[in-house]
Amino acid sequence: MKGASGGLRLVDLCCCQGGASRGYAEAGFTVQGVDITPQPRYPYPFHQGDAITFIAEHGHEFNAIAASFPCQAYTACWQIQRNEHPDLIDVGREALNATGLPWVMENVPGAPLRDPVELCMCMFTTDPGTYRPRWFETGGGFTLPRMEHRPHTKRHTKMGRPPRPDEVMHVVGNFSGVAAARLAMGIDWMTRDGLREAIPPAYTHWIGTHLHATLTPTMTGGARHAA
């Protein structure tokens, strides 16, 4: 199973505007996104539809799967407002395992992921514009090393105003400063709605590099997961 450019194929479920997808693409994958809602700013081939249904029907066409199932049920905002949001982690994990493919599932800290690896922008730069910690669970025979989580030396800016030099942005809700958020996240094509749902591509570039290295030896003499 190779993409149009001859590389390994990865499907990004619940892709939104493509922050995670960009990192996987930069790590060498041919990426396709899937989301239940239209994503006109998504920069790669895109399918609108249900993520669980898609991998049941088309998972065998890919070499690996990434998933960012809705996180709102686990956020601090939900703890206050108690709005109803879908919880797809357990059913999503079952569907991912059923494919037999290596997979990565991302969510916010506090989500019910199993033995997750945490990534934060402080691990990728000494001068982060946002911290944006996220958890990553892996499966299908794929594992990740753990990186040292450096101390957070900057405070979060108050909502409604741009960050000062000694502050980092909290890119959530109706935050102020789309241009600053794009710079902090390493994303230059997203709207405010996309940015507050995104993860920095630096995370998935790092993950994708490990995933690509894991898969590449198995491709000698043919695809590991033949359709």
- Asked, for residue 23, whether it belongs to a domain, the answer is yes
- The list of the chain residues with pLDDT below 70 reads 1-6, 71-86, 218-227
Cα Rg, the chain, nearest whole Å: 17
> Alpha-carbon distance 225 to 161, whole Å?
49
Q: How much is the pLDDT for 55?
A: 97
Whichever domain contains 211, its CATH number is 3.40.50.150
Q: How much is the pLDDT for 174?
A: 85
Q: How much is the pLDDT for 211?
A: 98
Q: How much is the pLDDT for 162?
A: 79
Q: How much is the pLDDT for 74?
A: 53
Q: How much is the pLDDT for 226?
A: 35
- Asked, for residue 193, whether it belongs to a domain, the answer is no
- DSSP letters, 107-151, are E-TTS--SSPEEE-GGGT-SS-SB---EEEEEETT----------
**47 within 8 A of 70, measured Cβ to Cβ:** no
Q: How far is CA 135 from the centre of its chain?
A: 9
- Asked, for residue 159, whether it belongs to a domain, the answer is no
Q: How far is CA 223 from the centre of its chain?
A: 25
> Alpha-carbon distance 109 to 135, whole Å?
6
- Asked, for residue 20, whether it belongs to a domain, the answer is yes
pLDDT tens per residue across span 12-27: 999 999 999 999 999 9
Total count of domains within the chain: 1
- Asked, for residue 65, whether it belongs to a domain, the answer is yes
- Asked, for residue 177, whether it belongs to a domain, the answer is no
- pTM higher than the cut 0.85: yes
Domain hosting residue 89, numbered range: 9-146+198-219
- Asked, for residue 28, whether it belongs to a domain, the answer is yes
> Alpha-carbon distance 205 to 5, whole Å?
18
- Asked, for residue 124, whether it belongs to a domain, the answer is yes
